[in-house]
Amino acid sequence: MKIAVLGTGMVGRAIAARLAELGNDVTVGTRDVAATLARTEPDGMGNPPFSAWAAAHPAVTPAAFADAAAEAELVISATSGAASLDALHAAGAGNLAGKVVLDIANPLDFSHGVPPTLFVKDTDSLGEQIQRTFPDARVVKTLNTMNAALMANPRQLADGDHTAFVSGNDSAAKKVATELLASLGHRDIIDLGDITTARGTEMLLSVWLRLFSALGTPNFNFKIVR
Ligand code: NAP
């Protein structure tokens, strides 16, 4: 499948690399390709510059947000949550129309320090904001409740025996998302319902962040036992 992953951070890199490894035709979207490739310093999280990652993953093509989205059959929104709407506007509503858009970002607000708070919660969500802003896109909120490595390859932990959620208004889009997740190795995928259910999975971040602190590792996930 032709997939645009919007985002050059650790999430975009992890998911793009894995989707390419599985045989998909993957483009990574960024604001300005030349500027992104010219960065030589590690990012704020200490990850190596994108150019080093790109050199090691020649099968993945970097492109401007709009160019990546224009060519794609499916778009993954993996930018900073506070910038996701701007990045999707740059991608272009016309380039998103009719397409499945997986929103895997979180609405984190670091302006009050760490742990971050959520800039939207309880009565709305980033997933809903994206769906409202781009009504012709088929938005599915998913994968935001686990770390990037597990999103891309859940079998790294407990042979994938843990849970992923999908939220969205379009059943066919959620089926596409579920099949894509299964191709990554996700075994337990729960359809929570319409896009308003993204409120719950985004608010899980408050628990996730405290678990990260308590366990001292991001290598854990939620498992719904029933
Ligand atoms: P990030 O640092 O949160 O975001 C980097 C991306 O955001 C870059 O592609 C950057 O564009 C873009 N961006 C930043 N400011 C922008 C602006 N003003 N306009 C347009 N685009 C802008 O990356 P990340 O750590 O990989 O996280 C990506 C998302 O996944 C976040 O929402 C995060 O909360 C969520 N998430 C992360 C994890 C995890 O394990 N880290 C787990 C679950 C969910 P350029 O390429 O142009 O610089």
Q: Give the residue carrying structure tokens 């309880």.
A: 122
Contact 214, 156 (CB under 8 A): no
> Does the beta carbon of 37 lie inside 6 Å of ligand 1?
no
Residue 29 has pLDDT above 90, yes or no: yes
Residue 15 has pLDDT above 90, yes or no: yes
Average pLDDT, the chain: 97
Residue 115 has a pLDDT of 93
Top CATH class of 2-215 equals alpha beta
Residue 170 has a pLDDT of 98
Domain residues of the chain, as ranges?
A: 2-215
DSSP 114-173: SS-EESS-SS--HHHHHHHHSTTSEEEEESTTS-HHHHH-GGGTGGG-SEEEEEES-HHH
Per-residue confidence band for 86, with pLDDT thresholds at 50, 70 and 90: very high
Question: 81 CA distance to ligand 1 centroid (A)?
Answer: 7
> Does the beta carbon of 148 lie inside 6 Å of ligand 1?
yes
> Does the beta carbon of 63 lie inside 6 Å of ligand 1?
no
Mutation choice for ligand 1 from 41, 60, 79, CB with most ligand atoms inside 8 A:
79
Whole-prediction pTM: 0.98
> Does the beta carbon of 201 lie inside 6 Å of ligand 1?
no
Per-residue confidence band for 45, with pLDDT thresholds at 50, 70 and 90: confident
Nearest ligand 1 atom to the CA of 90 is 20
Average confidence (pLDDT) over 29-52: 93
Nearest ligand 1 atom to the CA of 50 is 46
Within 10 angstroms of residue 10's Cβ, the number of other Cβ atoms is 17
